[in-house]
Amino acid sequence: MRTDLLRWYAREARDLPWRRTRDPWAILVSEVMLQQTQAARVVPYYERFLARFPDPAACAAAPAAEVLRAWSGLGYNRRALALHRTATIVARDGWPADLVALPGVGPYTAAAVASFAFGAAVLAVDVNVRRVLARSEIVVEEPTPELNQALMELGATVCTARAPRCSACPLAEGCDGPGESTAQATGRPRFEDTDRFVRGRVVAALAAGEPLPDVDASRLQRALHGLERDGLIERWEGRFRLPGDALR
């Protein structure tokens, strides 16, 4: 099954820019951006971000406002602040032996960076890999970077949660199938009706030097309070700005 999976990956893998490097900073940026965000959407942000901040020192030297501005539109802006803090630590002290010690780096991200950048024999289990392992009978021994990528690719493109393409799966033989994981979620609010939508619009407006979004006052105040609490914006002379940014 391992051989079949690797052959499938060699034939079907998407050409994603972070798969062409072993630079730990570039890989960390990609992994942080990919959290809860589809790869196709991440690619342009990833390329622009690394063009502006090619290494931890460049990111650490920039004000948090500039990092947030480069990140704006990608969503989950707290990830940008955590990455900025990580860049400061790495630029000063180098990469730690235990990557989980870095801000915003959990067990999966640490395993992914260790595997793809440093060649460590660790299994990087994200939500896609967990789903593949739960459905199939594949036993992962001596994980390699290529095997990690293959498992992730299979989960992202074939063994998906809601519409798995079992006929195209190299692990179909002996697989238990999708089970109940294809159940459609119901009753979810529109993204435009969530606080996260308003928070993103506030950060985008401040990043562009534009007025705050014209939304319901209670939603706006809730978003401003949460953003200020999380360190993503700050009050300055009676107005809001990105952390340390100059008022426009």
Those residues with Cβ within 8 angstroms of residue 90's Cβ, 6 or more apart along the chain or in another chain: 25, 56, 60, 102
> How far lies 224's CA from each of 103, 202, 220, in Å?
23, 8, 6
* 141 in catalytic set: no
CA-CA distance, 70 to 183, in Å (whole number)?
Answer: 36
Q: Which residues pair with 140 in a beta bridge?
A: none
> How far lies 218's CA from each of 70, 76, 231, in Å?
28, 21, 20
Those residues with Cβ within 8 angstroms of residue 124's Cβ, 6 or more apart along the chain or in another chain: 108, 111, 112, 114, 115, 116, 143, 148, 152
Catalytic residue among 31, 47, 228, 237: 31
Task: Give the β-pairing of 234-236 and 239-241.
Answer: antiparallel
Which positions are annotated as active-site residues? 31
